[in-house]
């Protein structure tokens, strides 16, 4: 947050709560500012009620920070008021800041009422429609012509719509795979990708500077031509754009698909239907749009969690399906389970789905003679290196030094040329091909997974079989991850201290494997281990990410990545192990040994983190 004037004095009861340790200093400052702000007068009575009740825990949760407008937008718990939550004020000021920044960037357009344009979409979460209408009316009140989807849509369709309609910006109201309590405001630039430097910082500053936020009635704005409701015409263009990327005519495969009560029927199912897949059954029990995600395990609709697949797997066994597909509520991420030996369904990680899709796209395009001479695939620094090995074997360029976030893949597409873009992937179930969007899309991923599975099935094979073939050809790659949640007013401080510990006195061996060096993308240097001494510069990219590596030699190579999450209050840890495979007969033993090494690495890393947190607490 930019520098601000000193806060006004806090009410005596609030100051006393800080002295007792019942309330954080940040909450005290934000409460004082809110009570002194006439533009927040609607929340004054509610704040006073909580003060009078002495509910300091709730006040701290609502006001311990100004909810960050990160490099893509805002995400967090919903409430009726509070600087640290998603509520009508934080949504409106986000839209207002975006509108004012657009006016600064495009003054000639802004000089004409309706000269600037934006498109707004929302998912099925609680209050998403309310927040979308509020975003639209705020943008319209600033003179921005705003297209609003009639009903819920997917995030990738929003990305497509920004480009298709030639808009200056877009907003998606979603919290992706977060629990039902959360929502979010994701900002997109005219490329169709999430905002990037320098626009991210400019929008952030404009958002934090918002005071009086203008508004206009929704119907009034429609009558004035400042808001236009859109729907089927964009759907048809988007679905065609994805379905036209088909690389195979194989369609004989059966799948159960679940949207986890989200929007996925609008993109994944409709694309598969347009592409001619008739063996896809929607899981009826999770079909209804419902922001409470009532039938999802723990009401937590993240397709990276194995528990969410249980109802769909049960149905898949009943109908003898080959695949289970699942998407998160805004349907930009695709999860896959595939039937293997004995008819049991096994989950495929995002890394492995990405490798399979990459292999499918490159093989098919090579066979069809459509691989461009300068073609390239893109992946982030925490994604499996198997994708790079597959691409290199096809003599395709690999760009694999990107920070976490699909926006960097979208940026690379525009920098390197979208005509040569073949495939992009990130480990958290995000994939893209084609040029129609600049964000990950579960629909195109589902199209290619289904095509590959159908092709393999015609030869008596499964996705698991093809994955084993890739391991024999390119080495066995296995990956894992875990997180440490650090919520609340003290979470940021602990996160910073833990990252400092990783930089100043890192672990030098994990799982019996010696670590040889660390790549520090914040301090921009490579350091040798165990001495932790600088040996080289690391100019790009710039982010709070550390990668530890072993010396590969001829045996198992280990990598570990550490970074604070950009969307949730947690630190994320990614682990990788790779080993050569001499032939198919050796693969089972290589798998067992490498998996065991990775498990030991994760165990040691988890223990090291726990010890550090004990010291910090």
Residues of the chain with pLDDT under 70: 1-5, 71, 554
**547-557: b (≥16 Cβ within 10 Å) or e:** bbbbeeeeebb
Q: Which of 214, 230, 246 is the last residue of a domain?
A: 230
To the query of whether residue 176 is one of the catalytic residues in this protein, the response is yes
395 and 250, same domain (yes or no): yes
Structure tokens at 421: 């873009």
Q: What is the CATH number for 495?
A: 3.30.530
Domain tally, the chain: 4
Could you read off the pLDDT of 369-425 as tens digits, one per residue? Answer: 999 999 999 999 999 999 999 999 999 999 999 999 999 999 999 999 999 999 999
Domain shared by 40 and 181, yes or no: no
The pLDDT value recorded for residue 518 is 98
pLDDT at residue 3, rounded to an integer? 54
d(CA 257, CA 86): 31
Residue 4: per-residue pLDDT? 60
pLDDT value for 503: 97
Asked which of 64, 82, 99 is the last residue of a domain, the reply is: 64
Q: What is the pLDDT of residue 70?
A: 75
Q: Are residues 470 and 484 located together in one domain of the fold?
A: no
Domain stops at, among 193, 208, 230 = 230
| Domain shared by 179 and 138, yes or no | yes
Cβ–Cβ under 8 Å, residues 184 and 169: no
Q: In what order do the strands lie in the sheet with 169-173?
A: 73-77, 182-189, 169-173, 117-122, 145-149, 227-230
Using DSSP's 3-state secondary structure scheme, residue 130 falls into helix
The CATH number for 109's domain is 3.40.120.10
Cis status of the peptide bond prior to 504, with omega within 30 of 0: no
Which residue in 43, 176, 246, 331 is the catalytic one?
Answer: 176
Buried b (16+ CB within 10 A) or exposed e, 116-135: bbbbbbbbbbbbbbebbbbb
pLDDT at residue 565, rounded to an integer: 85
* Contact partners, residue 59, CB within 8 Å, separation at least 6: 14, 17, 23, 27, 31, 47, 50, 51
Non-local (6+) Cβ contacts of 413 within 8 A are: 378, 421, 424, 435, 438
pLDDT for residue 554 = 61
Predicted local confidence at residue 71, as pLDDT: 65
Residues spanned by the domain of 547: 476-616
Residues 35 and 85 in one domain: no
- 389 shares a domain with 433: yes
**Same-domain check for residues 20 and 73:** no
pLDDT in tens, 210-236: 889 999 999 999 999 999 999 999 999
Are 353 and 494 part of one and the same domain?
no
In a shared domain, residues 411 and 386: yes
Q: Tell whether 55 and 91 lie within a shared domain.
A: no
* Cβ-proximal residues to 396 (8 Å cutoff; 6+ apart), any chain: 362, 371, 375, 376, 377, 422
Q: Are residues 288 and 425 in the same domain?
A: yes
pTM of structure: 0.96
My answer on whether 277 and 373 are in the same domain is: yes
Residue 42 exposed, middle or buried by CB count within 10 Å (0-12, 13-18, 19+): exposed
């Amino acid at each position: 947050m930019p520098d601000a004037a000193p806060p006004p004095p806090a009410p005596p009861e609030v100051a006393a709560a800080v002295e007792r340790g019942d309330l954080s200093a940040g909450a005290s400052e934000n409460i004082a500012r809110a009570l002194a702000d006439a533009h927040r007068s609607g929340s004054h009575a509610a704040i006073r009620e909580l003060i009078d009740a002495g509910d300091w825990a709730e006040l701290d949760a609502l006001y311990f920070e100004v909810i960050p407008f990160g490099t893509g937008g805002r995400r967090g718990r919903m409430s009726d008021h509070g600087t640290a939550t998603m509520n009508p004020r934080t949504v409106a000021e986000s839209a207002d800041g975006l509108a004012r920044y657009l006016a600064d960037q495009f003054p000639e357009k802004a000089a004409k009422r309706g000269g600037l344009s934006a498109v707004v979409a929302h998912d099925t979460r609680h209050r998403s429609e309310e927040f979308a209408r509020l975003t639209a009316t705020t943008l319209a009140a600033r003179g921005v012509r705003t297209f609003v989807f009639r009903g819920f849509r997917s995030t990738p369709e929003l990305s497509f719509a920004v480009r298709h309609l030639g808009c200056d910006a877009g907003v998606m109201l979603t919290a992706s795979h977060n629990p039902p309590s959360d929502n979010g405001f994701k900002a997109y630039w005219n490329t169709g990708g999430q905002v990037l430097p320098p626009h991210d910082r400019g929008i952030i500053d404009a958002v934090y500077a918002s005071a009086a936020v203008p508004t206009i009635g929704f119907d009034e704005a429609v009558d004035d031509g400042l808001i236009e409701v859109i729907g089927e015409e964009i759907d048809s263009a988007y679905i065609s754009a994805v379905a036209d990327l088909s690389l195979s005519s194989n369609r004989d495969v059966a799948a159960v698909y679940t949207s986890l009560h989200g929007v996925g029927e609008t993109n994944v199912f409709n694309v598969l239907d347009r592409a001619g897949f008739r063996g896809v059954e929607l899981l009826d029990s999770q079909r209804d749009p419902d922001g409470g995600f009532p039938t999802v395990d723990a009401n937590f609709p993240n397709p990276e969690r194995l528990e969410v697949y249980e109802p769909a797997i049960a149905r898949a066994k009943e109908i003898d399906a080959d695949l289970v597909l699942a998407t998160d509520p805004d349907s930009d991420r695709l999860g896959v389970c595939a039937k293997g030996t004995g008819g049991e369904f096994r989950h495929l990680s995002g890394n492995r789905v990405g490798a399979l899709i990459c292999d499918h796209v490159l093989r098919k395009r090579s066979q069809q003679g459509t691989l461009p001479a300068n073609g390239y695939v893109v992946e982030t620094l925490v994604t499996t290196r198997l994708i790079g090995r597959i691409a290199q074997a096809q003599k395709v360029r690999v760009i694999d030094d990107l920070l976490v976030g699909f926006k960097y893949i979208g940026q690379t597409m525009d920098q390197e040329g979208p005509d040569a873009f073949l495939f992009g992937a990130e480990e958290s179930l995000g994939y893209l091909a084609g040029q129609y969007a600049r964000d990950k899309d579960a629909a195109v991923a589902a199209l290619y997974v289904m095509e590959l599975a159908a092709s393999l099935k015609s030869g008596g094979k499964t996705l698991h079989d093809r994955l084993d073939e890739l391991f024999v050809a390119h080495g066995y790659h296995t990956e894992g991850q875990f997180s440490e949640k650090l919520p609340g007013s003290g979470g940021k401080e602990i996160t910073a201290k833990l990252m400092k510990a990783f930089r100043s006195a890192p672990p030098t061996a994990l799982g019996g494997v010696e670590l040889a060096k660390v790549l520090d993308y914040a301090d921009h240097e490579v350091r040798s281990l165990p001495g932790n001494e600088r040996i080289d510069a690391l100019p790009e990219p710039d982010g709070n990410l550390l990668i530890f590596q072993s010396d590969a030699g001829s045996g198992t190579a280990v990598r570990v990545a550490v970074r604070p999450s950009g969307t949730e209050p947690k630190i994320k840890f990614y682990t990788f192990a790779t080993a050569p495979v001499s032939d198919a007969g050796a693969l089972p033993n290589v798998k067992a040994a490498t998996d065991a090494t990775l498990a030991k690495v994760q165990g040691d890393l988890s223990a090291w983190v726990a010890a550090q947190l004990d010291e910090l607490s």
